[in-house]
Structure 1
Amino acid sequence: MRTAVAGGTGTVGVHVVEVARERGHEVVVLSRSAGVDLVSGSGLSDALSGVDVVVDVASTQTVSAKESTAFFSAVTRNVLRAEVEAGVGHHLALSIVGIDTAPHSYYAGKVEQENIIRSGTVPWTILRATQFHEFAAQIRSRASFGPLSVIPKMVSQPIAAREVAERLIDLAERPPAGRVADLGGPRRERMAEMVRGYARAIGARGIVLEVPIPGAYGRAMRDGSLVTSDDADHGTQTFEDWLATRSR
């Protein structure tokens, strides 16, 4: 099967590419280094020639709802348009658990992405997952000021990026299925404790201050809106297990 991966050089994308190749699929990485610009659409039509399924795990580094919506709108419309031209029969996108109950900040773009996919003509599958284990390191990097890390009060359910990639390729090997069961990590964690654990694992010192974010978005971060329900599927690698691999 010829599989194209949008965002194939990102946190989960590198695993998607790896898993697909391990299973014998021919992989096309949609990236600027390969002559493809997802935001402008340049190079997409040629890149998707002969492709059976597109796995979209593209992302952007922003907390702005406006910027996130602009990015995901442009990328999704461009990819879907190129899929129609190339005759691709399956569009598979990775989304985030809880975005419709907290359609703010970065999540606003993911909501729009899902809406565009559902209204398109290409048969689709959407998998929503919780944040990756790597999210603790990312949020610490963005929210640190010298020795102080100001971390939002948040309930998370981190999952291994590799396990998300494996589920995505499972779905890519099947017919389009619409919205499938959510995928979350094996247990819930407090983001501040995750950041503290990550800092210890890498030998970093400093103070982690947990602060509640005001408004509906902050409330969703605290009240469990962004973790899975009872009918979801769950991975097996805990954040603690993942940390053990970081400290080696």
Structure 2
Amino acid sequence: MKKCNCNQQQESCAVPSTQQIPVSDDAVLNDTTVSTPILKVPVVLVERSLQVVVETDISLDPPATEIKRVTKNVFLNQVKLIPVKFDQIGSTDYFEVTKAKLFISGFIRKNIEYSSDDCQGVLQDRIVEVPFSGFAEITANEFLSKPIIGISDSNKAYFLNDTNGEVPRLDKYFFQNSVKYNEQPYGELIGANFFELDFSPVTVEPQGEFGTIREKIVMDVFVKVLQVQQHRVGTLRIIPNLDTGLEC
């Protein structure tokens, strides 16, 4: 049998490295000029806290003896702003929205963790999606910036009969259409607060089982509605002035 060489050295854990050398660090000088560019950017129209109240019964299989934890998240499927009142902008065909209905819909995704009647059983998990929908009214003083919408129109001109000026021609028309394509307001989810009461709709004894849990949820969901608009802003235009070492 080959004897082990106990004096054999183990491989070193060290790895090669390179020491870094400091380099010079100077600020970049900038030239500034006054500028008033037109920017096309998302503009916040409104930020609102909407309260949603829902009640639901959720079945549990296997039945539960104790609810351990409930976690929640909100998902929005729809955030739509529907204008209902307008103010014309000057003599243009564009209008500022002064009143609107804000429609929202989505669901609350709930993860319910609970224990069954098994003394050493595994923790059970139940995932459900609770739908909700509703609307709120947005008035003029609640807009941070008013939405802008262009109105399309369609005109039709009629003609008299060429040989009989007392009757119209039904085979000759002139059409004029003006179509304006608007930026669609859209929503963003900011956050949500949940207030919830969970209980069995049927009274059970201690350590008793229940196969249904009733939930009453009050949710404050915070949403932001934006629209892409063009705005002229007063700024300072920044142009880097890089030192090339050349004398001009």
- TM-score category (smaller protein): under 0.3
Q: Which has the higher strand share?
A: 2
Q: Which has the higher helix share?
A: 1
Give TM-score scaled by structure 1 length. 0.20
Could you say which structure has the larger radius of gyration?
A: 2
